[in-house]
């Protein structure tokens, strides 16, 4: 560097130092960028209604992982991160088989028939799955499906043996077909609900959600739209006969923004309101909640992963629009039965390189930013969003950090799980975050995050605390300088306030980075596993510290790495 360039560089560094020293500090200031700080204003006096725990909903394809070693460990951790019961949705609860776990497969053998065609019911494995949930204070979203082999109109071939890299369509075999006998199907459902009430009690089962099938607008359902509607009528009738106060819903279509999905969704909703019931012959069918799925669409661009949050939000918005168009159904709870950055949890990174976002902080920052916008979309459509299911769990006995869409690997929590720990620490009344930031929900929905970074926040309060979740997200997973952030809070009490600052980035709450620093061991030692487990927990950026409140206001300054997430938790007596 010549002397002239060196002098210019020194002047620039002095100017940066001067800018940073002029900012109010709480001891958290550690900017590495000379950009002007992003100003975020949080007004605790402006309530925006309840911050519903829409994040406390999870699901996965492989039901038999539920009661396996790492499955039970992860479910325990998920149950502990939430103040309220977590709901869990799994596939294949009525599939015929021996209960062996495999990718995108599960079975319970709940229904078979003897040599004379007489039904044989066996609830052993179903109960084992639900027991695991209920022992942890969790609740099932009891998915009624898929078709037992003895009832399938095409019973052979029945079981698939799919693995990453295979054709995804290979999975849709005999379990995806309509029943050959709707009366036997109805009796199966009736017996399941009746058994559940006998085993767990009426009050417990009344707190569950019962639903029919999964994504019937694509190959998960090999029947017609009308056959699904017929199956729904028979299923809803059976559920309500067994327990009139049970909550029954559907249709779990995927991608409401897609024309075929939209047509299917509307046909189902029209039937619910005005159709002739296949069982009763009367107009209409019982429904207590409405479900659909929404996914993003990552891809590789110039060698890096580029997410597409906008695709997911547009599908959510279209689903809300459909529900809102039915006045008699508009206020029913909506559960987004799968709400994720893309569609295939079991498609690992080694065969699907666009899924390389899953191990690190891109998944966690995407989750923070997208969930915040779900609240806004529901409010804008005037609908009742109850939950958004994250379709991610764990994959038993798979290579470390293989790049599945999961929350943990071999019993070690990944960064994304810590976002849910942050959500679980937030109070229940949402408060105003001042608009005027680079992105609002409309811009993310319509254009995703392709220009400047989305540095934004979600905030809430109760009588003795407040929390602000701040993220620095971008669709493109490329290096960028840390961003200086200044959070100004209004409406604080004029008393002693204590700040805890939690962080997810490359250095904090990140088992993946620790694993890579170890040399990415394929078989970590016992000591390494213990270190990874500790690294997977939510960490504080610094020691708790007091915050100076003046006239009900305080300003918190810090730097936030790209794809990082901070939770500022303030408490007072």
Give the CA distances from residue 253 to residues 193, 232, 405, 572, in Å, rounded to whole numbers and listed in that order: 23, 13, 21, 45
DSSP state at residue 283:
B
Neighbour tally for 327: CB within 10 Å: 8
> Which residues participate in catalysis according to the annotation?
215
- Cis peptide leading into 456, omega within 30 of 0? no
CA 173 – CA 222 distance, rounded (Å): 9
| Nearest alpha-carbon partner for 363 in 432, 425, 298 | 298
Is 129 within 8 Å of 118 (Cβ atoms)?
no
CA 278 – CA 231 distance, rounded (Å): 9
Name the 3-class secondary structure at 66: helix
**198 backbone dihedrals φ, ψ, rounded to 5°:** -65, -35
CA 447 – CA 430 distance, rounded (Å): 26
| Nearest alpha-carbon partner for 47 in 526, 428, 547 | 428
Bridge partners for 29 per DSSP: none
Neighbour tally for 352: CB within 10 Å: 18
| Nearest alpha-carbon partner for 486 in 45, 42, 15 | 42
**223 backbone dihedrals φ, ψ, rounded to 5°:** -95, -175
CA 422 – CA 133 distance, rounded (Å): 22
Is 127 within 8 Å of 370 (Cβ atoms)?
no
Q: What angle, 0 to 180 degrees and rounded to 10, lies between the N-to-C axes of helices 259-274 and 225-242?
A: 40
Beta strand pairing call for 304-306 and 299-301: antiparallel
CA 160 – CA 183 distance, rounded (Å): 27
CA 508 – CA 360 distance, rounded (Å): 11
Gyration radius of the chain over CA positions: 25
Please identify which residue in the block is written with the tokens 């030692």.
Answer: 525
Between CA 341 and CA 348, with CA 342 as vertex, the angle to 5 degrees is: 110
Q: Is 300 left (phi over 0), alpha (psi -120 to 50) or beta?
A: beta
DSSP letter string, 531-562? HHHHHTS-EESS--EEE--BTTEEEEEEEE-T
Give the CA distances from residue 274 to residues 256, 277, 326, 328, 329, in Å, rounded to whole numbers and listed in that order: 21, 9, 11, 11, 12
Between CA 410 and CA 418, with CA 416 as vertex, the angle to 5 degrees is: 95
Neighbour tally for 557: CB within 10 Å: 20
CA 144 – CA 214 distance, rounded (Å): 9
């Amino acid at each position: 560097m010549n002397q002239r360039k060196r002098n210019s560089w020194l002047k620039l560094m002095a100017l940066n130092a001067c800018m940073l020293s002029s900012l109010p500090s709480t001891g958290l200031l550690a900017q590495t960028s000379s950009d002007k700080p992003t100003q975020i204003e949080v007004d605790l006096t402006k309530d925006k209604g309840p911050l519903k725990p829409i994040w406390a909903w999870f699901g996965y394809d492989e039901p038999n992982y539920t009661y396996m070693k790492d499955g039970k460990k992860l479910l325990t951790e998920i149950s502990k991160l939430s103040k309220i019961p977590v709901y869990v949705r799994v596939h294949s609860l009525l599939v015929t088989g021996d209960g062996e776990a495999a990718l995108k497969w599960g079975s319970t053998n709940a229904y078979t028939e003897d040599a004379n065609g007489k039904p044989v019911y066996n609830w052993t494995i179903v109960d084992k799955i639900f027991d695991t949930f209920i022992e942890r204070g969790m609740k099932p979203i009891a998915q009624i499906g898929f078709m037992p082999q003895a009832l399938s109109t095409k019973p052979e071939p029945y079981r698939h043996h799919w693995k990453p890299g295979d054709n995804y369509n290979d999975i849709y075999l005999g379990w995806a077909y309509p029943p050959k006998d709707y009366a036997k199907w109805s009796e199966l459902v009736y017996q399941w609900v009746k058994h559940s009430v006998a085993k767990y009690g009426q009050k417990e089962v009344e707190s569950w959600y019962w639903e029919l099938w999964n994504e019937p607008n694509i190959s998960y359902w090999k029947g017609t739209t009308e056959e699904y509607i017929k199956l729904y009528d028979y299923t809803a009738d059976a559920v309500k006969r067994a327990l009139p106060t049970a909550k029954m819903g559907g249709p779990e279509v995927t991608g409401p923004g897609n024309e075929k999905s939209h047509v299917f969704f509307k046909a189902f909703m029209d039937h619910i309101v005005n159709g002739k019931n296949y069982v009763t012959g009367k107009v209409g069918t019982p429904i207590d909640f409405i479900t659909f799925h929404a996914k993003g669409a990552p891809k590789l661009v110039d060698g890096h992963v580029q997410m597409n949050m906008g695709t997911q939000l547009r599908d959510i918005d279209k689903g809300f629009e459909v529900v809102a168009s039915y006045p008699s159904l508009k206020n029913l709870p909506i559960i987004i039965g799968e709400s994720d950055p893309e569609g295939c949890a079991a498609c690992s990174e080694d065969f699907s390189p666009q899924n390389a976002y899953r191990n690190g902080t891109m998944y966690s920052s995407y989750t923070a930013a997208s969930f915040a916008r779900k609240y806004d979309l529901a409010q804008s459509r005037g609908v009742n969003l109850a939950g958004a299911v994250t379709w991610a769990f764990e994959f038993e006995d798979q290579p470390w950090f293989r790049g599945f869409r999961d929350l943990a690997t071999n019993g070690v929590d990944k960064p994304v799980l810590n976002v849910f720990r942050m959500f679980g620490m937030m109070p229940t009344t949402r408060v105003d975050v001042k608009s005027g930031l680079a992105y609002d929900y409309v811009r993310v929905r319509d254009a995703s995050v392709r220009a400047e970074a989305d540095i934004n926040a979600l905030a809430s309060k109760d009588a003795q605390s407040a929390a602000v979740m701040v993220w620095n997200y971008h669709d493109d997973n490329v290096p960028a300088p840390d961003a200086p952030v200044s959070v100004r809070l209004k409406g604080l009490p004029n008393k002693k306030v204590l700040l805890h600052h939690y962080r997810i980035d490359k250095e904090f709450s990140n088992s993946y980075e620790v694993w890579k620093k170890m040399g990415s061991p394929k078989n970590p030692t016992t000591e390494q596993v213990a270190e990874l487990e500790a690294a997977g927990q939510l960490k504080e950026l610094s020691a708790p510290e007091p915050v100076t409140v003046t006239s009900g206001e305080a300003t918190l300054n810090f730097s936030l790495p790209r794809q990082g997430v901070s939770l500022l938790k303030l408490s007072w007596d």
